[in-house]
Structure 1
Amino acid sequence: MQRQLANMKQSLFDQGYLDEQFIQLEELQDDANPNFVEEVVTLYYRDSARLIHNIDQAFIGAKKVKIECTQFREYCRTGNAEGCKKTFQQLKKEYATLKKKLEVYFQVARQAGPVEKACRPK
């Protein structure tokens, strides 16, 4: 069983899911707190899902960001680590892309001056 566990951990490292920080967490685990790493990981998923939910709730019309938030939250809820990782990377990408696009939009809006009425794009 120990060998199987070691192989699983090695696989997680080989696939890029874990790094040196995970080893550092394991080094903090001892007989007094034998489930330390599992508890930290559980808190990580709970807290990250909550934070993503907060981003989702602060929705400003960022459609692609909202879609990724919803998907990430679902992966966190089901414990799908691979889905979480992929979706989180996509969420960061969509967030950064939208931020850049809105910065340009507001720069042009300031130059254009006040708009009398909001209108929907066609």
Structure 2
Amino acid sequence: MIIDQASWDAIAELKPKLRSHVSFYQHVYRHQTWHVVADRLSNTHFRCNNLVFQFIKRLDGQCTIAQAYQHCLDVAGEHAPEQVAIMQVIASLQMRDLLQGKFLFHQKRFSYAIKS
């Protein structure tokens, strides 16, 4: 998938933060380890692989999305998630109410930004 660069630029400098009561745990499913981001207050969960988890751990309100993504690139190189995958992760976290603050990601705008 290809994303509109303007869409990435619109979120790259945002500094989202996970809610304070969000916790993490690992789950092994079919011999593969998954990381689960869990909000036990609302019973909301988000499952991801290790590379995406490395990105999510950096969402502390201090680090920009671009900085967190750059960390993924530094660690995983060509195996790092693509920008479109990162945008989908941010949208999923927001839809599950796992992000706090005035961080707004418009799912409708995002859906128009992705091109097949």
TM bin, normalised by shorter chain, reads under 0.3
**Structure with max Cα Rg:** 1
TM-score normalised by structure 1 residue count: 0.26
Relative to total residues, which structure has the larger helix share, 1 or 2?
1
Relative to total residues, which structure has the larger strand share, 1 or 2?
2
TM-score normalised by structure 2 residue count: 0.26
